[in-house]
Amino acid sequence: MRPPILRRLFRRVASTAVLGLLAATLGTAVTAPPAAAAAGLTQVTGFGTNPGNLQMFSYTPDNLAAGAPLVVALHGCTQTANAYYTNSGWPKFADAWGFDVVFPQTTSANNALSCFGWFDQAESTRGRGEAASIVQMVEYAKQTYGSDGRRVYVTGLSAGGGMTADLLAAYPDVFAGGSVASGLPAQCATSQAAASGCQTGPQKLTPAQWGDKVRNSYPGHTGPWPRVAIWQGTSDYTVYPANATALRDQWTDVWGIGQTPSSTRSLPGNTTQTTYDDASGQPAVEMFSVSGMGHGLPVGPGSGADQCGSTAAYFLNTLCSTYYTGVFWGLDKGAPGGGDGLPAPAGLKVTGVTDSTASLSWNAVAGAASYKVFRDGTAVGSPASASFTDTGLSAGVSYRYTVAAADSSGTAGAVTSAVTATTSGGSAPARCFTATNYAHVTAGRAYTSGGYVYANGSAQNMGLYNVFVTHTLRESPAGHFVIADSGCQAGSS
């Protein structure tokens, strides 16, 4: 069985008097804390009334303390909880970063293809059906494993992605963030007959109309809203890429931040990451467009820190989406202010950039022996003083930095909010992209307004938002695009 919260308390309590009190209360003899259970996927029964007739499976790393974050991971159609556990990479980062994972599972008794009912309001709305069952699993994890209710996240693939969006809309008070992979916008379809229409091309709604579908899912809620990652392959012909654009429109509108990207950068696996910051400059919505990928979850098998998963049906070898999703949520080092240990340094700021360096400074923390600096979630330095210069960077690229104070044993405390440093470098080689207007928007190189498409940065009108108009865009500097149909000289394309 899963280690209950009592077993975690035993690990954290050293006093034999307290252990004796617990033993007396339970009516059993306690001589020592129980040994840690071997981690593995375990089925849980009795987690609630379960109105959606789902099964609950969970994974807890050995010796995980109470108060850890919780991730809910939803499989796609024809898949199982075990397939998602085996191939998605979530167990690797649960072990490395310290959090619980719940894997809900639906069956053919609910749907002939074992799809979550994202298209059925009896299953996907607040207090009803499968959505209510999943929230009961969250409550069970909080009560039994001691999961931190402030740091609960949900992710899913395909139908699981559609249910993820519905859960974020129906329960913004439960989930701090979400990640939708090859999925659908919240409440895109409200019947099974309408589901296929959403998959091949969602309704042509304005961002405000998409946002209203979220706001109407839990009337009266005014925030905070979940932070949302969107993953989509450009060659997905099961859930068309237009859904990623609709998701972007929906959640940027909910956040009130518009559809113009704050930054764009290239990642491994032919992936473009487009970020939309909130009013405080923190990423609220991120869209990851994987060029040439079909329908599935991006995975990147390997032993590297940013690699994960294994290839299988609908688990596609491109890059480890689980790693980038976890970094986006802050799971790599916990949420700012969360956990024990030294507080997050105050006053983190960018003090200077060149075409290959970024310099940072922050306020010293009492009791800190050193500091850990993270670039895009990866540790890049351990300075003893409250400043650091990162080197070897690419020109004209935006990087996100966080910092944590570490004690004399090297244990890092809470992590700061991120700051963004964009390197200089007007001489960096331009890049050229030839694609349809629809593809440019999906990749984050352009945006839509009033049915027309405009290039990011230059705001040049590219014509109607469709798959019939094609343009070449030249990018220089990073994130600034101009129309270059007559010819484009570039270092890469």
Q: Measured in Å, how far apart are the chain's first and last C-alpha atoms?
A: 53
Cα dihedral sign, 92-95-101-106 = positive
The vertex-30 CA angle with 29 and 32, nearest 5°, equals 155
Largest CA distance in the chain: 83
| C-alpha dist (Å) from residue 52 to 49, 105, 125, 187 | 9, 10, 11, 18
Q: Tell me whether residue 493 is one of the annotated catalytic residues.
A: no
Tokens representing 184? Answer: 């659908």
Report the DSSP beta bridge partners of residue 272.
266, 289
Tokens representing 251? Answer: 């959640």
b/e sequence 161-173, b meaning 16+ C-beta within 10 Å: bbbbbbbbbbbbe
Catalytic pick from 158, 182, 262, 398? 158
Separation of alpha carbons 155 and 448, rounded Å: 27
Separation of alpha carbons 200 and 216, rounded Å: 24
Q: In 3D, which of 51, 35, 48, 166 has the Cα closest to residue 102?
A: 48
- Give the three-state DSSP class for 85: helix
The vertex-47 CA angle with 42 and 51, nearest 5°, equals 120
Judge whether 164 and 183 are in contact, CB under 8 Å: yes
Judge whether 298 and 321 are in contact, CB under 8 Å: yes
Q: Which residues are catalytic?
A: 158
